[in-house]
Amino acid sequence: MFRKATMAVIALLCSLSLLAQDYTGGVKGKVISRSDRSPIQQASVTLFQGAVEIASTASDTEGDFLIENLADGMYDLVIKAPEFLDTRVNVTVNDGYVKNMFNLSMSPSVIAQELDASNFAEFDLDDSGYSDNPTILFGQNDVFNEIAGYNFSSVRFRARGYSSESQDVYLAGVKMNDAMTGSAPFSLWSGLNEPTRTKDAYDGSDVATFAFGGYNGTTNIPVLASYVRKGLRGSVLTNSALYRLRLMMTYASGPLDNGWSYAFSASARLGGNDWIDGIYYRSFAYYASAEKKFNDVHRIGAAFMATPGQRGAQNSSTQEVYDLVGDNMYNSNWGYQDGKMRNARVRKTHEPIAILKYDFTPTEEFSLAATLLYRFGKNGYTALDWYDAADPRPDYYRNLPSYFYMEESDYNRQNPFKAAWAADAWSTGYDQNLIHINWDRLYNVNQNSIGEGGRLRSKYVQEERRVDQRDLNFAVSYKWRPDNHFQLTGGADAKINRTENFKVLADLLGGEYFVDIDNFAEREFASSEGKLQNDLDYYFAHGQAKTLEKGDKYGYDYLAQVRNASIWSNAQLSFGNFKGNVAASLGATSFWRDGLVRKGLFAGLDENGNEIKDNAGNVLTTYNPQTGEVISSYGKSVKNNFLTYGVKAGAEYRLGGSMRFYGHVGYMTEAPKFNKAYLSPRTRNSIVNDLTTIKNFTADINYQLTLGTWNFRATGFYTTIEDQTDVMSYYDDLQNAFTNLALSGIDERHMGIEVGFKIPTPVQDLAIQGAVSYGEYIYTSNPRMTQTVDNSAEVTILNEIVPYWQSHPVYKKNADGSFILDDEGNGIFDYDKKHYVPSTPQLAASIGLAWNRNYWFIDGDVEYFAKSYLDMNPVYRTDFAAAGPDHLETPSEIEYMSAQEEFDPAFLVNLNIGKSWYIDRKYQIGFSLNAKNLLNNKTVKTGGYEQTRLVDNTVGKERYYRFDSKYFYNNGMNYMLNVYFRF
């Protein structure tokens, strides 16, 4: 019986194998990454017929695979690879041919991508000079970026300590970094996750196929219809950290037989969150694209997209405020009105992008892509504005207990009774109107402010600061690969940007009109009516300042005009296991300011070149006290022209199929950005001293191992950034003025290592993964500072060195902390304490376990962050601040005033769970749940800034004190649940 059966089986097998050998049919194809079209090696390719496994193989180093000996019929091809989502496709073999599936693309299995890059809370930083924009890492099949991109994002980790302005982001081949600020404008497409999911990313200073790039990575989002995953997809997401609900729907046709592809997407993000009151989303997004391929040579495509909507912003407060309220997530931007939370600071945007792209592929060796892209629309940000009325901010320092009582008697704040009352009001919250914006009071003030003709003149209004861009771009790039050893890429691009900066009256808050005069100038020049005018020409024409209604422009109005163009080329050679490249770029940038209104304080000259006088005959024209040049608010500034260039080289050596040693080196200059070039662009044409190109040198070496499910990458990097400028404006209530600080000659050095790994454990489907970024990002120069105030032509500080910027001296101390003095009574120098590039942990580490089986994934990680520093304000690093009113610098004053705060290290724990199901092999439904900060750690500082003010009315009159710094904190435990489906 047994023998019979055995024989039967053998016979069957034989016949099967005999039969099989007779078949000529088969399946072949190339497995590639959807994100960058790079081949995926060692992908497992399994062929099923029904539920029966017929054959399996693995892709080779070029991603190619071949399965032969197949009978005609319908099959399912299942492709799996680490770091990618499983892919399943139907294959029909007929007439005995080997079916060529060509490119089979796989999507990276990066869970982090669900929360798009711009989903960081909108921080309210306008008056602080502090900038906050974490760089976003794309998990492009790179183990470090994948882990760091997700797990480090909550603390606003910046890769290698670089600012987000240095990260180049392209859309359909056009550089999208903001023409004013340079920052990567992820918010332009946030909510369009599906159309922007495919990305082509290059790390560090690697030269991209579409651009020369900088030193902090270059990413292109191809965005047109053919790059959007085929099918109908939808998802519902809820999230406790940003918004309650996200709805998203996308349809993409994929390439159709007639050469067309088209795609549509729309989404909505709505609601508040569990942690920060006042932050809400009311954001929508739409996207449409079509492409048409004419034979294999021409392809033309277009896309139109935007993310209209509004988001409430968060403000930072001092630790005193957080402690009083008992909540590090207190937000001072909102108050109750009509029983609802109303946020005074709301970002309102609608900036569409229109794209026209042409691809030309005449031969297999040559391809060319050209894109025309236009960005336009409105970008507004509301804020309270007030005229001759008390500061409405609830956490204004004069409302806090520390304003009434400080233990140190030298502060001259010795009223514990008042302090107790103030503390009581804050901590018990018995009157919510005291600890939040008191909208009722603002309205009441306006309702009782009888002005001209009995009309109500608003004292408090809501303004909307607008930065409306018109940004026209053209980019072309080509790729020529005559043989397997040589490849030449290159391109050219040009940009014309015209950005109008102005503000409009958004809400009169119960009043009937507002008047367009400069509140601050009035304090200083009350008797000169001409100097108070925001619009002097209107005043001359009508005899009085403009009376404003809702929606009127007021305050300031100027154009920022930016032009730039560049060309670049990259030559790449490969022989056997060696690959090398050299690249160069050349560019020109020009920008100028064009004032559209004449401000009384900086009247400039009239069209005939004559001084301007007020009605009383007093000269209004002002001159720079140093250069004697006319300071003008009106008309065109001088054009600032910069010639920039860059050279880069790279080399790579492959050892076996799995190891890669590679490195890059580059030197690049870049033009300063408009927003860091003018002393006070809202009021005048004056530019920062010593404005010059920024010089960057960068080098890195890397080792990468990719072997089966083993993944490892280690990188060492070294970068210097020199001759940066910075400007910051803030309201100084001691001077009753907007004060502008301009810094020039800021140098930085960033060096460190990055390590990422994912390796299998003996437990099946369980891998251990980790990432470490450890670096030293420091300042290496003492910049020069110029200080001006908006309400006068006076230059308070002229191009003076900031001596304690890059470091400060530490003096020798006794065991009790007192200073050891020499014979002359001076402190004894001990060592210099370095100052660091702020707002990112310089040590970040993550270790975790990832389990992945049968469309389930569970992933738990522990993170550690340390060496994160507070953004410094230059005033505290001057001799002036350290000396105090007596002009004597003592060791204790220097150490107190110039020290930089280091944040406490922090541990965070994250957990992710997901699962997807296939229904009838056609439909897919799944969910992912990301839980962050499971330890509910609410004391992790993510950033902040020092206030630019000094306590100067001390008792001793010997020294100054700092104002308390302001901070932002990481959310406590939060989750995101996403449910998605695909048809």
Partner 1 sequence: MKPFAGFAAAAVLLASCEEWEPVYTLKYDEPANYERVTMTPTHTIAQLAAMYEIGNPKTIEEDIIIAGKVNSSDQSGNFYKSFYIQDETGGIEVKVGRSSLYSDYKEGQTVYVDLHGLTIGMYGYKTLKEYADGPSGGNGLVQIGLEDPTNEYETSYIEVEPIINAHIFRGQDGDKVKPVVLTEKDLPGRTATLKDSPVLGKLVTIKGLKYSDKIFTLAYINSNLDKKASSNRIFLSDQTWGVTTWAMSKNLFVQKLDEGAFDSVKIGNSGDYNYGTVADHKDEIRSNAAAATVSQYFTCGKTELAVRTSGFAKFGDAEIPAEVLNGSATIDVTGVLSLYQGDIQLTINSLDDIVVNK
Sites of contact with partner 1 (CB under 8 A): 236, 238, 244-245, 270-272, 280-282, 337-338, 340-342, 388-390, 398-399, 404, 414-418, 421-422, 424-425, 431, 434, 439-440, 443-445, 447-449, 459, 510, 522-527, 885-886, 925, 927, 952-953, 957, 979, 981
Nearer Cβ to partner 1 (311/932): 311
Q: Smallest distance from the beta carbon of 385 to partner 1, in angstroms?
A: 14
Interatomic CA distance for residues 349 and 465, integer angstroms: 11
Interatomic CA distance for residues 403 and 936, integer angstroms: 32
Task: Show Cβ contacts of residue 492 under 8 Å, excluding neighbours closer than 6 positions.
Answer: 475, 476, 565, 566, 567, 568
Q: Smallest distance from the beta carbon of 439 to partner 1, in angstroms?
A: 7
Q: What angle do CA 737, 740, 745 make, to 5 degrees?
A: 165
For residue 344, the one-letter residue type is A
Nearer Cβ to partner 1 (463/524): 524
- Number of Cβ atoms within 10 Å of the Cβ of 422: 21
Torsion angle defined by CA atoms of residues 202, 204, 969 and 400, in that order, rounded to the nearest 10 degrees: -130
Interstrand relation of 460-480 and 486-507 (parallel, antiparallel or unpaired): antiparallel
Interatomic CA distance for residues 274 and 972, integer angstroms: 9
Nearer Cβ to partner 1 (418/654): 418
Q: Smallest distance from the beta carbon of 618 to partner 1, in angstroms?
A: 12
Q: Provide the 3-class DSSP secondary structure of residue 641.
A: strand
Q: What angle do CA 46, 52, 56 make, to 5 degrees?
A: 20
Nearer Cβ to partner 1 (451/580): 451
β-partners of residue 571 are 488, 582
Nearer Cβ to partner 1 (326/708): 326
Nearer Cβ to partner 1 (140/239): 239
Nearer Cβ to partner 1 (36/516): 516
Per-state percent for the chain, helix, strand, coil, to nearest 5: 15, 50, 35
Task: Show Cβ contacts of residue 429 under 8 Å, excluding neighbours closer than 6 positions.
Answer: 325, 435
Nearer Cβ to partner 1 (236/911): 236
Nearer Cβ to partner 1 (2/417): 417
Q: Provide the 3-class DSSP secondary structure of residue 11.
A: helix
Token pair of 402, please? 């520390």
For residue 484, the one-letter residue type is N
Nearer Cβ to partner 1 (108/272): 272
Return the residue matching tokens 């402690």. 323
Q: Smallest distance from the beta carbon of 923 to partner 1, in angstroms?
A: 10
Q: Smallest distance from the beta carbon of 792 to partner 1, in angstroms?
A: 8
Q: What angle do CA 61, 66, 72 make, to 5 degrees?
A: 165
Interstrand relation of 923-932 and 174-175 (parallel, antiparallel or unpaired): unpaired
Q: Smallest distance from the beta carbon of 160 to partner 1, in angstroms?
A: 38
Nearer Cβ to partner 1 (462/564): 462
Nearer Cβ to partner 1 (440/765): 440
Task: Show Cβ contacts of residue 965 under 8 Å, excluding neighbours closer than 6 positions.
Answer: 318, 319, 870, 901, 944, 945, 946, 947
Q: Smallest distance from the beta carbon of 469 to partner 1, in angstroms?
A: 25
Token pair of 885, please? 């009113």
Nearer Cβ to partner 1 (75/539): 539
Return the residue matching tokens 């296991």. 577
Interatomic CA distance for residues 38 and 16, integer angstroms: 37
Q: Do residues 871 and 945 touch, judged by C-beta distance below 8 A?
A: yes
How far, in Å, are 561, 670, 916 from residue 860 at the CA level?
A: 49, 41, 18
Q: Smallest distance from the beta carbon of 322 to partner 1, in angstroms?
A: 20
Q: Smallest distance from the beta carbon of 310 to partner 1, in angstroms?
A: 8
Q: Is 17 exposed, middle or buried (0-12, 13-18, 19+ CB in 10 A)?
A: exposed
First and final C-alpha spacing in the chain? 50
Nearer Cβ to partner 1 (307/702): 307
855: left (phi over 0), alpha (psi -120 to 50) or beta: left
Task: Show Cβ contacts of residue 894 under 8 Å, excluding neighbours closer than 6 positions.
Answer: 804, 808, 809, 811, 882
Q: Smallest distance from the beta carbon of 914 to partner 1, in angstroms?
A: 12
Interatomic CA distance for residues 386 and 891, integer angstroms: 42
Nearer Cβ to partner 1 (486/923): 923
Residues in the chain, overall count: 983
Nearer Cβ to partner 1 (70/517): 517
Token pair of 457, please? 């003149």
Q: Smallest distance from the beta carbon of 87 to partner 1, in angstroms?
A: 23
Q: Smallest distance from the beta carbon of 950 to partner 1, in angstroms?
A: 10
Token pair of 446, please? 């306006």
Nearer Cβ to partner 1 (526/619): 526
Interatomic CA distance for residues 653 and 663, integer angstroms: 9
Q: Smallest distance from the beta carbon of 38 to partner 1, in angstroms?
A: 35
Q: Smallest distance from the beta carbon of 906 to partner 1, in angstroms?
A: 29
Nearer Cβ to partner 1 (298/550): 550
Token pair of 555, please? 């305050």
Q: Is 489 exposed, middle or buried (0-12, 13-18, 19+ CB in 10 A)?
A: buried
Interatomic CA distance for residues 925 and 106, integer angstroms: 18
For residue 332, the one-letter residue type is S
Q: Smallest distance from the beta carbon of 875 to partner 1, in angstroms?
A: 16
Return the residue matching tokens 């790390």. 203
For residue 767, the one-letter residue type is A
